[in-house]
Structure 1
Amino acid sequence: MRALLVSLVLLICAQAAVAGCGAEVSACEVDLGSYHARLPEGEIKGAILYLHGFGGTGEGALRPRGWVTTALARGYVLIAPDGLPYAEGRGRGWSFIPGRPARRDEHTFLTSVRDDAAARFGFDSDRVILSGFSVGGSMTSYMACAAPGSFAAYAPVAGGFWRPHPTNCSGPVRLLHTHGWTDGTVPLEGRVLRGGDATNPEALMQGDIFYTLRLWREVNACHQLRADRFVTDGPFLRRSWDHCATGSALEFALFPGGHVVPEGWAEMMLDWYEGL
């Protein structure tokens, strides 16, 4: 009975909080920035901290759509921080590109968002998935590399490392990378954005997702180069590396589309996470 009363109090407090800082257009403030949140109607199972793509906002990332509806229905709080404004009104993004000055300590910002949201809305800060789309997926990958213990798992979509690629990471991760086979904005091999062509070491270039997977295998101390399990039915082609460091997890999911969060992604990702 006491546990039920505690749960009801937490839910009432969370709904009251979301009517203010987590409401449709009101942002929650922390020292280094702001974030938006949406709460499920019933019991809270965990949270997804989701990083928007190039030019986006936290508010825009949580507008009703397939994956948002699915995650809320499954009991997850959705948290969407605001990236830093770009110059010339090009929206917002994240500070992660190798060799460029850091515009914000993104690790401190994202972990403070995690802790602030957990305190406001009544969930366990140890049960937060870090995810993101496009450059948000890249930021997710760099967080997983630099501080793998900061979040329960990592789920980048359509974004990975940039060149020059990192050569090592801080420790094993639990990570599911999802990518479109025909993605032309962030191709699997990467692309040159500015500075001539791929022979120019000074060019601004996205990274190679296949290199990213190789690095994760090394970081997770996987016993084999090849995957241990394959899924070939349904909307995703999936490869999993199971014989790796204790507590780690690594999976790659391809779908036939382009630069989007694909239909069915949230259900697949949450099934993966809850099965760890």
Structure 2
Amino acid sequence: MKYFLSLFALLILPAMGPWKAACEGATACELGDRSYHVRAPDEWDEATPMPVMLHFHGWGRQGNLIVNHGRIAGHTRRRGVLLLAPNGNGRTWDFWQAGSQDVDFAAAVIEDAAKRYPIDRSRIYISGYSYGAAMAWRYACDNGDEVAALLAISGTLQQSEECAEGPRTIRHVHGLDDTVMGFPMGPGGDTTNPVALWRRQFDCGTGAKLPDWNAREFLTFQRTQWDNCADGHSVTLDIHSGGHFIPHGWIGWQLDQLMGRAPQYP
């Protein structure tokens, strides 16, 4: 009987894959003296390479919140996207200038996750909220050539910065009434200023006003898109009348559109 049990274990363990024993959810993955959290999608077949969304938490938070957050993990897990949520030192991020060690750490998180799960490197999305959004901008600015899209919520870098790299696609959302990381209004009330850095870097032309949209009836987004940028880059800005929060459905809609699906909620 012991022989048959041992043989059974040998047969099933390769099929189960290393991720079955890996850290996930509330259990952090250790990476040197740092750590991160993971949430795999609900209906993953445990074989197909997954798109990845790495999300930087807001100030004072940690990744365990992100992997259980309805407006973040609630969307990735339904769309076959592997969610990575790194933990910031002191519950914050160093995004203030180029050369941040947090960029190197986040890149190492992706590489470590790739040892645990099969990932689709052509679909790596970098996201963040508040201070985490500014950190996502920093990552995209310093290490963006390997990033398919930046999905940033209510946080930016100074629009005067010069970036060494940049993702193929930029998507940013910001509330006009944000009193925490205030809406970066441009000269003369220019509401397209939150993405001026990327429009300049990608040599974009005039933006097109697209129809207003919403994932939930109580919050409407005004969208401007620049799909005329150099080398196939594109920039999209959504603005709303609210304040400093993660909008219901925003991440899910962006992921759907980036993956060529009809946007839906949740």
TM-score by length of 2: 0.79
Alignment of 1:38-49 (within 5 A): 38-43=39-44, 45-49=50-54
- The answer to whether structure 1 residue 21 and structure 2 residue 16 are counterparts is no
- The answer to whether structure 1 residue 55 and structure 2 residue 60 are counterparts is yes
Instruction: List runs of 5+ in structure 2 lacking aligned partners.
Output: 1-11, 215-219, 262-266
Counterpart pick for 1:159 among 145, 152, 155: 155
Instruction: Measure, in 1, the Cα distance between the counterparts of 2:14 and 2:152.
Output: 30
Closer, same or farther in 2 for the Cα pair 1:240/1:47, shift >3 Å? same
Closer, same or farther in 2 for the Cα pair 1:11/1:244, shift >3 Å? farther
Aligned position for 1:220: 202
Instruction: Measure, in 1, the Cα distance between the counterparts of 2:178 and 2:15.
Output: 40
Instruction: List runs of 5+ in structure 1 lacking aligned partners.
Output: 1-7, 86-91, 191-207
Closer, same or farther in 2 for the Cα pair 1:14/1:79, shift >3 Å? farther
Equivalent residues of 1:11, 1:122 under 8 A apart: no
RMSD: 2.6
Amino acid at match of 2:163: C
Amino acid at match of 1:231: P
Give CA-to-partner distance per residue, 1:177-235, whole Å, 9 cap, x none: 01122211111038xxxxxxxxxxxxxxxxx98544122111111123xx124121333
Amino acid at match of 2:148: A
- The answer to whether structure 1 residue 80 and structure 2 residue 85 are counterparts is yes
| Percent sequence identity over aligned pairs | 29
Instruction: Measure, in 2, the Cα distance between the counterparts of 1:11 and 1:243.
Output: 46
Closer, same or farther in 2 for the Cα pair 1:93/1:178, shift >3 Å? same
Equivalent residues of 1:51, 1:81 under 8 A apart: yes
Quote the offset at 1:12 in angstroms. 3.0
Instruction: Measure, in 2, the Cα distance between the counterparts of 1:141 and 1:29.
Output: 25
Instruction: Measure, in 1, the Cα distance between the counterparts of 2:15 and 2:209.
Output: 39
Closer, same or farther in 2 for the Cα pair 1:27/1:11, shift >3 Å? farther
Equivalent residues of 1:39, 1:76 under 8 A apart: yes
Equivalent residues of 1:32, 1:109 under 8 A apart: no
Equivalent residues of 1:126, 1:152 under 8 A apart: yes
Aligned position for 1:67: 72
Quote the offset at 1:172 in angstroms. 4.4
Aligned length: 236
Quote the offset at 1:50 in angstroms. 0.5
Alignment of 1:56-205 (within 5 A): 56-85=61-90, 92-98=91-97, 105-162=101-158, 165-173=159-167, 174-189=169-184
Instruction: Measure, in 1, the Cα distance between the counterparts of 2:244 and 2:15.
Output: 36
Partner of 2:121: helix, strand, or coil?
coil
Partner of 1:232: helix, strand, or coil?
strand
Aligned position for 2:258: 273
Runs of at least 4 residues of structure 1 off by over 6 A? 8-11
Equivalent residues of 2:40, 2:82 under 8 A apart: yes
Which structure has the greater CA radius of gyration? 2
Closer, same or farther in 2 for the Cα pair 1:223/1:11, shift >3 Å? farther
Quote the offset at 1:69 in angstroms. 1.5
